[in-house]
Amino acid sequence: MLVLFLDIDGVLNSHRWDDLWVGYTFEGLDHLPPKLRRNACWLDHTAIYVLNDILERTGANVVISSAWRHNYTLDELQAMLVVRGFQHADRLIGMTPHLGHETRGDEIGAWLESTEHDVEGYLVLDDFCPDEFGDHADRLLQTSAGSGLRPYHVPLAVRMLCESATVMEAMRAEGWLDDDEEAT
């Protein structure tokens, strides 16, 4: 099984979306409770379409690693994602544990150690700096809080999941870096 650890802030929403959604007409939210309806608006449907593309190309399952998991159940997160265009609700399989003051990398490690799933590979989609992920930093595809998940992330994510490439290997394979160049 392939697993995609998903952050929300800075991945499925961004400063770009903050500027666009004011005045945007949201449809299909009426059935959600007010708390979910209000927060579903923060989810950028174009970033969700990119996530759908990654999942369609890789068959990966999703584990929520976002701080949103502290305020919502998995079913509530699923409802908000689906109403904004998420097409793979059946692949939303869990959330990382909350370990207090530990890093997000520690929480991902705890999930990987405790899961009964046979995880063959994984990817972390997050806007946090690599230092936050410790041993999992080479599995991080870092997005920007400014623009979130964009179509140019898709080929990198596919390589990282399907070929077990590190982010550096994926960037080189996609021609983003020369063989002797390092990402900054």
* Mean of all residue pLDDT scores within the chain: 89
- Tell me: pLDDT of 114 over 80: yes
The β-bridge partners of 121 are: 2
- Find the angle CA(151)-CA(153)-CA(157) to the nearest 5 degrees: 125
Tell me what pLDDT residue 14 has: 72
3-state secondary structure of 131: helix
Domains of the chain (ranges plus CATH)? Answer: 2-164 (3.40.50)
- Tell me: pLDDT of 24 over 70: no
Do the bridges between strand 92-95 and strand 140-142 make them parallel or antiparallel, or are there none, so unpaired?
Answer: unpaired
In the chain, DSSP finds a helix count (H) and a strand count (E) of 7, 5
Tell me what pLDDT residue 16 has: 67
CB 150 within 8 A of CB 16: no
Q: What is the pLDDT of residues 139-162, one digit of tens each?
A: 999 999 888 999 999 999 999 999
